[in-house]
Amino acid sequence: MADLHVSINRDQGGIAGQIAAEIRESIRHGRLTPGTRLPASRDLAADLQVSRGVVVEAYEQLVAEGFLISRVGAGTQVAPISSRSMTDAVPASDPGPVYSPHYGHRPTSPDLGCFPRERWLASVRHVLTTMPSDVFDYGDPGGVPELRDELAGYLRRVRAADVRADNLVIVGGVAQGISLALHVLTQGTRGLRLAVEDPNSHRQVPLLLRAGAELVPVPVDDQGLVVTELRARGADAVLITPAHQYPTGVVLSPARRVALMEWAAESGGVVLEDDYDAEFRFDRDPVGCLQGLAPARVILSGSVSKALAPGLRLGWVAAPAELAESMRQARGELDLGSPVIDQYALAHFLRTGGYDKHLRRMRREYRRRRDALVKAVAEHLPEVRVRGIAAGLHAYLDLPPGSDEDAFVGPARELGLAADPVGPTRLTPGPPGVVVGFARLPAHRAAEVIQGLKVRMSGQNID
C-alpha cells in the first residue's frame, strides 16, 4: 500500500483535479512505482477530509488517462508503464519510444480499461441473488421481456425511436442483427439488391454476401449517402450508418434523411439502420434515429459494443411487428437466443441508471481525447486534414493527393496508434485517407505520439 502524500488548496476549487495532478506527478517522478496499490477511495477521502466521490473522480480520471488500473478485488494500482515519461525515457536524438504502448487493435474500439466493472458486477450479482432459478432455462429466443422493456424505454427516450418491447429482438451484436434481418428479407426471393455506403466497413462485406445480398455501392459525400444515386441503382434495401458513417465519420444531413425516407416510401424499399456510434455525439445532443421517422420501413440495429464492450455480444433489432416476429422465430431455429444472465444484468444496469452514468463519463473523456488528437495533428502534421469528428471513436484523416496510405499506417501502428488505410473500405477508387482511433489514446499521450509519427515519416514524405 502506498504512503500517499497529497496536498490540496481548498480555496482554488477543483479538488478532484488537484488530487489527480498530485498523484500524476508522483507517478511521473517515480515516487509511485508500477504495481503500487493506492489507498481505498474511502480512506484517502477521510485523510483529506473530502467526500469519497471527489477521490473516486480523481482515480477514474487517472484510470482513463492510463496512469492507474482498477480491478475488482485488487483495488487501484499504478499502471505498469506509467512510471517513465517519454521525456525521461527517450534521448532527444531517438525518434521512437523505449517501450511499445498499445492504444487499441482497431480504430473503432472503445477503451476497455474503462469498462464499469464494479457496477456491472453489481448488476450480475443482483440477478444471481434475486432471480428465480427458472429464468435461467431456455428463454424467449427474441430476448427476455425485462430487457426488451428497458431497451424500448431507453430507445424512445434517447434515440427518439418509435418502438415497443414487442418490436425488439435481442441479438449478439449489430452484425448478427443485420445478418438475421437479411436472412428474413431474402426468404422466398431470388436475391436482394442491397445498397451499401461507399466507402464502408470492409469487415462487414463477407457477412452481407454470405446472407445472400447482391451489393450495390452508393457514394458518400460530406452530407452522407447520396440519395439521388441510390434512386438510380434499383436497390431493394439500403444499409446505412446515419449517426456516424464508417469510415468517413459523416453524419447524415437533415435533407438526406428526408430524401431517404421519401425513397423508402416511393420504392417500397427497406432501410437497414446501423446505429453505429450513436451514443457519442460531441457537438450537440445525438440526432434521433431514422426508425423514429418511418418505423414501418426501417429496421434499426444497435448494441453495447462501443458503449460498454464488444465482448459482451449484446445487441438489439427494432423492426416492424411482422418482421420482428419472423426474426424471433428465426433466432429460435438458428441458435435458441442470447445468454440469459447477461440480458437480465443489462436490464438492471439500464433500470438503475448505470448505463446512462457510464455514457456521460465516457462522452466527456472521449471528447478530451479527440480534442487532443486533433490539436496534435494540426500542430505536427498540418498537411493532413482531420474530419468526421462530430461523433464516434475515430477520426478520418485526408492525406495529401498521391500519398501512400500504408506509409502512414505502418509508422502509426509502430507507435501504438490504432490506424487503418481507407483504400480497402472503398468499392470504387478514391483519394487517400487513414482512419485513426482516439478512444484508447490518453489525452496526455496524443502530442508525443503524433510528434513521433512526424519524426518517423520525415524521411519518407507521405506525399
Q: Is 432 exposed, middle or buried (0-12, 13-18, 19+ CB in 10 A)?
A: buried
Which positions ≥6 away from 139 have C-beta within 8 Å?
A: 337, 340, 343
Q: Among candidates 263, 241, 264, 301, which has minimal Cα distance to 425? A: 241
Q: What pLDDT sits at residue 62?
A: 85
pLDDT band at 188 (very low <50, low <70, confident <90, very high): low
pLDDT band at 61 (very low <50, low <70, confident <90, very high): confident
Q: What pLDDT sits at residue 462?
A: 53
Rounded Cα–Cα distance for residues 407 and 453 (Å): 11
Q: In 3-state terms, what secondary structure has residue 366? A: helix
Pair type for strands 237-240 and 192-198: parallel
pLDDT tens, 261-289?
999 999 999 999 999 998 999 987 778 99
Q: Among candidates 296, 274, 277, which has minimal Cα distance to 167? A: 296
pLDDT tens, 15-48?
888 898 889 888 888 888 888 999 999 989 888 8
pLDDT tens, 400-423?
999 999 999 999 998 889 999 999
Omega prior to 199 cis, within 30 of 0: yes
- Assess contact for 76 and 409: CB atoms under 8 A: no
Q: Is the pLDDT score of 323 beyond 50? A: yes
- Assess contact for 273 and 300: CB atoms under 8 A: yes
Q: How far is CA 25 from the centre of its chain?
A: 30
Q: Among candidates 307, 283, 257, 286, which has minimal Cα distance to 390? A: 283
Q: What pLDDT sits at residue 243?
A: 94
- Assess contact for 194 and 233: CB atoms under 8 A: no
Q: Among candidates 323, 332, 334, which has minimal Cα distance to 184? A: 323
Q: Phi first, then psi: what are they for 300, rounded to 5°?
A: -100, 130
CA neighbours closer than 13 Å in the CB half-sphere of residue 267:
20
pLDDT band at 433 (very low <50, low <70, confident <90, very high): very high
Rounded Cα–Cα distance for residues 56 and 44 (Å): 10
pTM as predicted: 0.78
Q: What pLDDT sits at residue 67?
A: 82
Q: Please state, in angstroms and as integers, the Cα–Cα distance from residue 26 to each residue in 6, 32, 228, 285, 315, following that order.
A: 9, 6, 59, 38, 42
pLDDT band at 93 (very low <50, low <70, confident <90, very high): very low
For the CA atoms of 216, 402, 250, 175, the dihedral, rounded to the nearest 10 degrees, stands at: 50
Q: What pLDDT sits at residue 125?
A: 96
Average pLDDT over residues 111-127: 93
Other Cβ atoms within 10 Å of 353 Cβ, number:
10
Question: Domains, the chain, ranges and CATH?
Answer: 1-83 (1.10.10.10), 118-355 (3.40.640.10), 358-457 (3.90.1150.10)
